[in-house]
Structure 1
Amino acid sequence: MSILNVPSDAEATGLTAEIFADDIRSMGHVPSHTRALSLNPEAYVAWDSLTGAISSSLGVRRYELVTLAAAQAIGSDHCLLAHGKKALTVLPEDQLLAVARDFHDAGLSPAEVAMMDYAVKASTDAAAMTDDDSLALRELGFTDREIVDITLAAGARNYFSRVLLALAVDLDVPEGLSPALREALLAPPPARPSNSR
């Protein structure tokens, strides 16, 4: 549980009140991560603008798949649950369950699997990445902008997830996630051979 003293809905003023109102309109409540990060509302708005620019360029499906891969690699339950819910808008639940269990065996295209592998590597061993990692995406048809967008999506998820983990922000479980999907999203990732992409 976070030690941060965060404003209640009634205490929120100015930009913070606007942020809270946006969440209430879109989700029906203000999640814990919004409350914590609204202590610097200007940074929160900048973050929201950044992720909007990345997802609108990359496309929602790709953005959510990259986000889930990065969040799983980091071990961010916050982002796995939140983006598991968001991914239901672009993936049927049975496929999302398979993605959560092992995206390599979830009926995704080779290009989608490759970009998720790329996001995992960027989240766990970015210093070891070389041009070969980007070239592998290019060979699967990704444009240079898409490669940058995939990298930005993974990097942005690392930033946000690690901030939530460092601040011990309370974990919210979004409504609308089945027990099976919650369990799959929160399960440890499958062990992969160290030489796998």
Structure 2
Amino acid sequence: MTFEVAEPRLSRFGTPDRSKFPADVEELFVDAEKKQGRVPNYLNSYAHNTETLKRLLTFYHSLWDPNGGTLTIQERELISVVVSHENGCGYCKANHRAGLAAALKDRELAHRIADDHHIIGFGPREQAIVDLAVKLTVNPSHVNDTDVLGLRDHGLTDEQIVEVIEVTSFFNYTNRLTIGIGTRPDEEFFQR
């Protein structure tokens, strides 16, 4: 008996026709090729609607601005990995697992968190962040004052708590977009 799988595809929509891109979107692709030596699959898959791509990137870049925000990059990457795990978004989980590994400077821990964050012995602050991100993802209508305001007891300011909610919400959006489009994880994700 042989083990068979279908030929992988970039997304449900295939590869977009770059000749039809507006100049600003083509510039994104050229920049990606210069910086990474390739165009990531998310750019190709989201570019089937260039306005969707631009809106998403504008929001993403503001959330991931190293000079902006109130949460650490480790906390933002932690939220992105946990939410992506809960939603079953392989692309975002694999991509941000690498980001978490870089932020933590610990590849093994990042992989363990991405594979099953439930068994990680997080510190109290990180656990409170994870708990809110999970509840807001899997059971949002049951989020209550204790879930949200309880983060104050772990040293988070109201501004940081709102950012936890914002990053969680953003990844719930991008996970659903990525899953809906059927974006295949880049091969490079499996090498890091």
More deviation, 162-171/18-27? 18-27
In structure 2, runs of 5+ residues without a counterpart are 1-8
Mapping of residues 11-160 of structure 1, within 5 Å:
12-55=21-64, 56-57=68-69, 58-91=71-104, 92-106=106-120, 108-160=122-174
User: Once superposed, what is the RMSD of the aligned Cα atoms?
Assistant: 2.2
CA distance in structure 2 between the aligned counterparts of 1:132 and 1:52, rounded to whole angstroms: 31
CA contact (8 A) 1:103 1:113 kept: no
Number of residues paired by the alignment? Answer: 178
Q: Deviations over 1:103-154 (max 9, x none)?
A: 3544532111211121111111111111111122111111111111111111
Question: Residues 162-189 of structure 1, C-alpha deviation per residue, up to 9 Å, x if partnerless?
Answer: 11111222232325735xxxxxxxxxxx
Instruction: In structure 1, list runs of 5 or more residues that go unmatched.
Output: 179-197
Q: Give me the whole-angstrom Cα distance separating, in 1, the residues matched to 2:48 and 2:56.
A: 13
Measure how far apart 1:42 and its partner are: 3.1
Amino acid at match of 2:171: R
User: Aligned AA for 1:77?
Assistant: G
Distance 2:34 2:123 in 1: 35
Distance in structure 2 (CA, Å) of the matches to 1:40 and 1:105: 39
TM-score by length of 1: 0.80
Q: Percent identity?
A: 24
Secondary structure of the 2:48 match is coil
